[in-house]
Amino acid sequence: MSQLPMIAVRPNEMATLAAETQPEPQPAMQVRGLGVRFGSKLVLSDVDMSFPTGRITALIGPSGCGKTTFLRSLNRMHDTTPGAVVIGTVLLGDTDIYSSDIEATQVRARIGMVFQRANPFPTLSIYDNVVSGLRFNGIRKRAILDEAAEGALRAAALWDSVEHKLRTSAMRLSGGEQQRLCIARALAIEPDVLLMDEPTSALDPIATMRIEALLRKLCERVSIIIVTHNMQQAARVSDYCGFLMVDDARVGHLIETGPTVSIFSKPRDSRTEDYVTGRIG
Amino acid sequence: MDAIPQPARPVLEEDLERIRSVTLAMGDLVDQAIHRATDALVRRDVAIANEVIRGDVAVNALQADARQLCFTAIITQAPVARDLREIMGFQHMAGELERMGDHCVNIARVARDLADLPPLGDYVDIPKLSQQVAVQVRDILSALVAHDVDRARATAARDDLVNRLYHRLVDELILLMSENPENVYRGTNLIAVCQNFERIGDRVTNLAEDLVFLEAGDIEELG
């Protein structure tokens, strides 16, 4: 029998092919009936969604639809917001992260976060930034910290450019490097899930592409959930997408989830189609 | 949510309209070419045959326009979902229509070659095959204008009729050739004509599949 030519399949195409032929991977996280209220104002309601392990899931939707609110509820970032109430269940594996016997710090040790603007600790060196999470968790052994720092910086594609200046201030790095440093800092604690809130919106196109290339490698070791305003970025980097939108009362709802290629080629809901084609925004 | 004035993407909408217009213009030219090529064959008219051959330049030019418009829309407008399907669908349709134009040229060339020879069996039922293929082309173009997926499927289903006519004609031509060796030259040429009409019918089915993909997002095998 003649040999068929090998065809390179992109990872997010794989997700679509996989979704058609086999069940999606076990969820790293799941939310059931999730809602978020600030005082009397309900901003997110009744969200059910799964985030597959080892995959990149993008949350997309118009401004004000609750994407960031949703993301922040996934590692209890609303705990310190006055008046914020999170309703429903958020599972990390089998663990409800809002269970009364679980501390927010325990949750954040397993669910890292990278923000829109790079936020390295300004008074700390590159090295100290990377190991800050480990030190916060009580790890003091130099060998362990060194190994974790190198591993995280390599994973964040930053090791080669900072290897010889680990003791210099993190603020000496470029914007793109600072963001990768923040990714390295989040990775150093070896989280199960990495939340990213528009991680490239403050970066130039080259730095953006480097981060996007990095995400694809990172999802081999961590499940990623990314909020992005940039639909092309969602199409480029993610395996799965969730589209959110506000209703007439300006409450955010999850409209549709699915493999990214499906969302951008044949969405099920007309509102998703209107959004991804730029008819609403 | 605040109402967005329609169309929300005027440039993309304009690009899509131009791509549709160019593709439909190609369809009209091909429709005319089928009729003219058949006329040339039946009337043994070299002038009409030459018109069909020269006229294909316009079909090819429109296909180049369609390709350029699709390419520009993709790189400047980053279309997705239905918009992207529409662009891909129309680009493929333009390719199919261009090939239909080539089939008409092939038929016109045969008409030119046979113009000085006496007709063979009054060209059997080739005009009937041509007429059925022309109906198929017009039906699929109407379905395209009306965004009518059901009509596209029904048109594709009627390709069986074209195929049956084609096979009957080939049988008849083979019989004529076996009866008299002097019929072989004209017979083989007329079989080539039938094959070209039959291939136009197949391409109508491809257009129907494109329309289903474009409208419904499903890849269906209609042939």
Q: Does the pLDDT value for residue B124 go beyond 60?
A: yes
Instruction: Give the separation between CA A169 and CA A31, rounded to whole angstroms.
Output: 39
Q: What residues contact residue B123 under an 8 Å CB cut-off, 6+ apart?
A: B41, B42, B190
Residue A243 lies in a domain: yes
Q: Give the three-state DSSP class for A107.
A: helix
Nearest to A266 among B7, B9, B81 (CB): B81
Chain A 76-115, residues with CB within 8 Å of chain B CB atoms: none
Q: Which residue has the higher pLDDT, A228 or A207?
A: A228
For B79, nearest residue in chain A (alpha carbons): A277
Distance from CA of B111 to the nearest CA of A (A): 43
Q: Quick check: B12 and A278 CB within 8 A?
A: yes
Distance from CA of A13 to the nearest CA of B (A): 15
Residue A228 lies in a domain: yes
Instruction: Give pTM, 2 decimals.
Output: 0.81
Q: Does the pLDDT value for residue A6 go beyond 70?
A: no
Q: What percent of chain B has pLDDT over 90?
A: 87
Structure letter (DSSP) for residue A164: G
Domain residues for the domain of A35 are: 27-276
Q: What residues contact residue B59 under an 8 Å CB cut-off, 6+ apart?
A: B26, B29, B30, B33, B97, B98, B101
Strand pairing report for A41-52 and A27-38: antiparallel
Strand pairing report for A56-60 and A41-52: unpaired
Q: Quick check: A273 and B1 CB within 8 A?
A: no
For A63, nearest residue in chain B (alpha carbons): B1
Instruction: Give the separation between CA B52 and CA B61, rounded to whole angstroms.
Output: 15
Compute the CA torsion angle A231, A235, A239, A245 (nearest 10 deg). 30
**pLDDT value of residue A104:** 94
Residue A85 lies in a domain: yes
Distance from CA of A86 to the nearest CA of B (A): 24
**C-alpha distance from residue B53 to each of B6, B59, B105 (Å):** 44, 11, 5
**pLDDT value of residue B4:** 45
Q: Which residue has the higher pLDDT, A279 or B212?
A: B212
Residue A130 lies in a domain: yes
B84 Cβ under 8 Å from any chain A Cβ: yes
Distance from CA of B4 to the nearest CA of A (A): 7
Q: Give the three-state DSSP class for A279.
A: coil
Residue A20 lies in a domain: no
Q: ipTM, 2 decimals?
A: 0.71
Nearest of A54, A212, A37, A188 to residue A120 by alpha carbon: A188
Residue A63 lies in a domain: yes
Give A157-207 pLDDT, tens digit per residue. Answer: 999 999 999 999 999 999 999 999 999 999 999 999 999 999 999 888 888
Query: Cβ contacts (< 8 Å) between A273 and chain B: which residues?
Result: 81-82
Q: Does the pLDDT value for residue A93 go beyond 60?
A: yes
Looking at residue A134, which CATH number applies to its domain?
Answer: 3.40.50.300
Measured in whole angstroms, the distance separating CA A277 from the mean position of its chain's CA atoms is 24
Mean pLDDT of the region A231-257: 95
Measured in whole angstroms, the distance separating CA B100 from the mean position of its chain's CA atoms is 4
Cβ contact A223:A28 at 8 Å: yes
Number of neighbours of residue A159 by Cβ within 10 angstroms: 16
Burial class (CB in 10 A: 0-12, 13-18, 19+), B221: exposed
Mean pLDDT of the region B138-160: 95
What is the domain count for chain A? 1
Distance from CA of A22 to the nearest CA of B (A): 20
Q: Quick check: A265 and B81 CB within 8 A?
A: yes
Query: Cβ contacts (< 8 Å) between A246 and chain B: which residues?
Result: 1
> Phi and psi at residue B160, in whole multiples of 5°?
-55, -40
Give B33-72 pLDDT, tens digit per residue. Answer: 999 999 999 999 999 999 999 999 999 999 999 999 999 9
Sequence spans of domains, chain B: 10-216
Query: Cβ contacts (< 8 Å) between B85 and chain A: which residues?
Result: 265-266
Q: Quick check: B1 and A278 CB within 8 A?
A: no
B10-216 CATH pick, 1.10.3980.10, 1.10.10.10, 3.40.50.720, 1.20.58.220: 1.20.58.220
A278 Cβ under 8 Å from any chain B Cβ: yes
Record the tokens describing residue A256, joined without a space. 């549709």
Residue A232 lies in a domain: yes
Instruction: Give the separation between CA B107 and CA B34, rounded to whole angstroms.
Output: 9
